[in-house]
Amino acid sequence: MTPGARLAAAIGILSEAETTRLPLDRALERWAKANRYAGSKDRAAISAHVYDVMRTRALLADRMKSEAPRALALAALKLAGGKSVDEIAALAEDGKYAPGPLSEEERAQLEGAGPAGPHDPRNLALNYPAWLDPYVERAYGEALERELAALNQPAPVDLRANLLKTDRETLQADLAAEGINAQPTYWSPWGLRLSSPRRLRGLKAIREGEAEIQDEGSQFVSALLGAAPGDKVIDYCAGAGGKTLAIGAMMAGQGEILACDVEGRRLKRLRERAKRAGLFNIAVEELGPGGLTGMEGRADRVILDVPCSGTGTWRRQPEARWRLTPEGLIRYSGEQAAILEEAAPLVRPGGLLLYVTCSLLREENEDQIAGFLEKHAEFETLPWSACLPEGWPRPGEGAADFLRLSPASTGTDGFFAALLGRAA
């Protein structure tokens, strides 16, 4: 492909992602499948450009006075790629598959486009919607710039060794034999971090259930449940089951896990993954209106990985920050409170409830727990590390009740976790 054709492809992918609201990685995959003539270097260059746009979108839109994918893609060539306006103009006309000549307005906007300066609003440099300013200020305070800057960096790829079939050292050696360099993760004794991102679905370890793709932070919060062989566990918002499978391995495949979700298609994927992982103690149930019935007071442990804004995953899904709205955040908060109310009765007296989000906003985290405890005197907050397996490192200092992970503080995706105990 010519450089101009690559630019046109990036614009097309950005347009499709915006129109369909597909995750950015899915939009890139769809384009690659439909354009198999594109080589690996073409795909890498197009992907890099698309992510450059999303990781600088606030500044690009401000400088171009437009949120159109073409305007953003052109501006990214200058502000993220360091190209001159003449070089950009040449790219835009580079062959019949290029996006086409610059308009006078585009050239004028590009000529005046410069980096974020000291007089610009901070959301332009840190790449987030201006309406979120009071929310991130409340979440981070003085650490705001460091934390949000880390959310603009590329995310690593982590694997979790399935201890029912292998161990971390053996998995590392098996990956090396396939030409993949991976190093042990620090926070999770189950994890390996790849030295460079690559497509993994065809790996023998993945095909045979010896490894799962799972961020180190997700592995860590799964361990907080402290699930043991013989326990009865409910994963109330299981989704495709990453945490379900990690918990099942903790339980050595013994005991009972009921994985629930409102989307049956995601549970179908979990069934397939559980079989591959050698976990036959996992049952699934699609939730209808009113939640799960007939299980009140029967679960030793319940994990709620609730729907949320996903602010902790912005480095992995940079487009998500532009799809979040004030109304959406209110909706998430309502859903979280409702799920807590539905799931709390499932915990037996003396049992545990683990509340998890991949959000960094207090409205979805500390505020939710405070509101829940006001209504439920039978529950109390426990130290987040109360059930963490012996020998695991403990991020952060002090005796805080809640766990916070973030790219800046732990090098993981952003997570919040609160462990609650029900009175016996």
Mean pLDDT of 244-250: 97
Mean pLDDT of 121-145: 95
Residue 31 has pLDDT above 60, yes or no: yes
CA nearest neighbour of 155 among 15, 310, 30, 385 = 310
Query: Which range among 192-196, 229-233, 240-244, 339-343 shows the weakest confidence by mean pLDDT?
Result: 192-196
pTM of the complete model: 0.94
Residue 327 has pLDDT above 60, yes or no: yes
Sequence ranges of the chain with CATH classification 3.30.70.1170: 158-213
Q: How many CB atoms neighbour CB 391 within 10 A?
A: 6
CB distance 189 to 195 below 8 Å: no
Residue 42 has pLDDT above 60, yes or no: yes
Residue 199 has pLDDT above 80, yes or no: no
The rounded percent of the chain whose pLDDT value lies above 70 is 99
Q: Identify the helix (H) or strand (E) that includes residue 343.
A: helix 326-343
Per-chain mean pLDDT for the chain: 94
Residue 70 binned pLDDT confidence (cut-offs 50, 70, 90) = very high
The per-residue pLDDT for 397 is 55
Mean pLDDT of 14-18: 95
Mean pLDDT of 184-199: 89
User: Counting Cβ atoms within 10 Å, is residue 293 exposed (0-12), middle (13-18) or buried (19+)?
Assistant: exposed
The per-residue pLDDT for 95 is 87
Query: What are the pLDDT digits (tens) for 384-415?
Result: 999 999 999 999 755 578 999 999 999 999 99
The per-residue pLDDT for 234 is 97
The b-or-e profile of 199-237 (16+ CB within 10 A means b, else e) is: eeeebebeeebbbbebbbbbbbbbbbbbbbeebbbbbbb
CB distance 309 to 328 below 8 Å: yes
Mean pLDDT of 361-380: 97
Helices (H), 56-202: 57-64, 69-79, 85-92, 104-112, 122-126, 133-140, 144-150, 168-177
CB distance 238 to 261 below 8 Å: yes
The b-or-e profile of 251-290 (16+ CB within 10 A means b, else e) is: bebebbbbbbbeeeebbeebeebbebbebebbebeebeee
Residue 200 has pLDDT above 80, yes or no: no
Residue 280 has pLDDT above 80, yes or no: yes
Looking at domain 218-422, its CATH architecture is 3-Layer(aba) Sandwich (3.40)
Active site residues: 358
What is the C-alpha separation between 398 and 257, in angstroms, rounded? 33
The per-residue pLDDT for 316 is 93
Sequence ranges of the chain with CATH classification 3.40.50.150: 218-422
Domain 158-213: give its CATH code: 3.30.70.1170
Residue 293 binned pLDDT confidence (cut-offs 50, 70, 90) = confident
The rounded percent of the chain whose pLDDT value lies above 90 is 90
The per-residue pLDDT for 396 is 76
Angle at 21 between CA 19 and CA 23, to 5 degrees: 130
Q: Identify the helix (H) or strand (E) that includes residue 302.
A: strand 299-305
* Residues recorded for the chain: 424
Residues 6 or more apart whose Cβ sits within 8 Å of residue 323 = 21
Which token pair is 61? Answer: 């839109």
